[in-house]
Amino acid sequence: MATFHRLRAALAHRDPTPAAKSGLAEVFYALANALRDFGLVADAQEAYDTALALAPGRIDFHCGRAELVRFTAADPRLAAIERLAANLAVLTTEEQARLHFALGKAYADIGRHERSFSHLVAGNAIKHAQVIYDEAGVLRFFERSRTTFDRQFMAARRGLGEPSSVPVFVVGMPRSGTTLVEQILASHALAFGAGELEDFRDLATELSASLGNRHLLVEKVAAASAEQLRQLGADYLGRIRAIAPGATRIVDKMPANFQLLGLIHLALPQARIIHVKRDPVDTCLSCFSKNFAGGNAYSYHLGTLGRYYRAYRQLMAHWRSVLPDGVMLDVQYEDIAADLERVARRMLAHCGLAWNAACLDFHRTDRPVRTASAIQVRQPIYRTSVGRWRPNPDLLAPLIEGLGENPGK
């Protein structure tokens, strides 16, 4: 914070050149992002506003601030975004997409949901045209995982990995509540929230490459020896231990690790898994509302989003059937919103941790959060995201068709 105030003071006593203004704007924008990650919302907003005062035409600055605040109809920053969007033809496609997502969020804040959804459709259409998504390959990977890691395969290799009980994996779809669950656990004195780690997948890919082909991860790691499975778990444990040497439990909140739960259990048989679920349509619409920083290429089209969710749901049902009792706990986001203490107690017990009332004040926990839910987990539990607004059913037809029968399950 001292740096922030020194920068403000320096700005007040000089009239910088355009180049200097641009540099200062970048500094304040970077500072705003850091303040946001640490939950210093008011200071982050002031830093965003300072950056925008120096560079009012910077679309990324407007969009960063839009994620931080709840708009009102009279908010001058909403009017500023609308003015920028009035001349989309002069903008890059990436800038156009950013503005559409920002306006989608802003109009949802003020209750203009139809207009919000139209901007989300436009923004997602741009992103969908830009990303490369091999849907057939992804769905085949899920199917190959179910076929390979069957009950007999899992039972024959049980107990071969690294026996540490330190790791806790929080998995699920993006926007399902995984960040909230991590924040609750990380509020315990003996637990550390490590954020979204790529380490396990990276190590699994390295193992697959050493066995002959990094692109056939499922088939190659299935051929791993007992010693290779143990080493995979030990290498992962070494990486997370380096982050938090003194923690009793270290929480890895990489949602996409749901794809690797069979291998995770074989490599780390004493690790605990928490699977966070949320209403499928609410989850998918929340994904559709986000311009993700990277990955999640399936989320920019309602059809691919629905089919991905259905494949995820099928894979999770498979893991539930082959993992031993007590390894994975299913947690429903709506249950957290309805009775935080009851669910928090279940999660801590599952992780072998004694009750700690600090977990109920998760929004006060001082730690960086660098996900799309960074702002939400700085607030006490709320229920407004349960049963979120939905557009005309005709507009959701591709999503509902993709989800398949009984999309609410």
Separation of alpha carbons 134 and 304, rounded Å: 10
Determine the pLDDT at residue 221. Answer: 85
Separation of alpha carbons 233 and 166, rounded Å: 11
**pLDDT tens for the 409 residues of the chain, in order:** 455 555 555 554 455 566 666 788 888 888 888 888 777 788 888 899 989 988 888 999 999 999 888 899 999 999 999 999 998 989 999 999 999 999 999 999 999 999 999 999 999 999 999 999 999 999 999 999 999 999 999 999 998 999 999 999 999 999 999 999 998 999 999 999 999 999 999 999 999 988 876 667 888 888 899 999 999 999 999 999 999 999 999 999 999 999 999 999 999 999 999 999 999 999 999 999 999 988 899 999 999 999 999 999 999 999 999 999 999 999 999 999 999 999 999 999 999 999 999 998 877 765 455 554 445 544 555 555 666 788 888 999 999 999 996 665 5
Sign for the pseudo-dihedral over CA of 369, 375, 376, 381: positive
Separation of alpha carbons 283 and 175, rounded Å: 6
What 8-state DSSP symbol labels residue 297?
G
Separation of alpha carbons 266 and 283, rounded Å: 29
- Helix 340-350 vs helix 178-186: crossing angle, to nearest 10: 70
Determine the pLDDT at residue 171. Answer: 98
pTM: 0.89
Sign for the pseudo-dihedral over CA of 365, 366, 371, 377: positive
Residue 174 makes CB contacts below 8 A (sequence gap 6+) with: 255, 287, 290, 292, 296, 299, 372
Which tokens go with 216?
Answer: 């056939």
Q: Which helix (H) or strand (E) holds 249?
A: strand 249-252
CB environment 74-94: b (16+ within 10 A), e (fewer): ebebbeebeebbeeeeeeeee
Determine the pLDDT at residue 285. Answer: 95
Structural domains in the chain? 2-130 (1.25.40.10), 135-403 (3.40.50.300)
Q: Are 71 and 80 in contact (CB under 8 A)?
A: no
Separation of alpha carbons 111 and 366, rounded Å: 32
Determine the pLDDT at residue 367. Answer: 47
Determine the pLDDT at residue 2. Answer: 52
Q: Are 250 and 168 in contact (CB under 8 A)?
A: yes
Determine the pLDDT at residue 112. Answer: 94
Which tokens go with 377?
Answer: 């987990």
306: exposed, middle or buried (Cβ count in 10 Å: 0-12, 13-18, 19+)? buried
Q: Work out the number of other CB atoms within 10 angstroms of the CB of residue 206.
A: 13
Closest CA to 194 of 232, 247, 243: 243
Place of tokens 């004195």: 189
Separation of alpha carbons 129 and 123, rounded Å: 10
Per 3-state DSSP, the chain is made up of helix, strand and coil in percentages (nearest 5) of 60, 5, 35
Determine the residue type at 266: L
Output the CA angle 288-292-294, nearest 5 degrees. 135
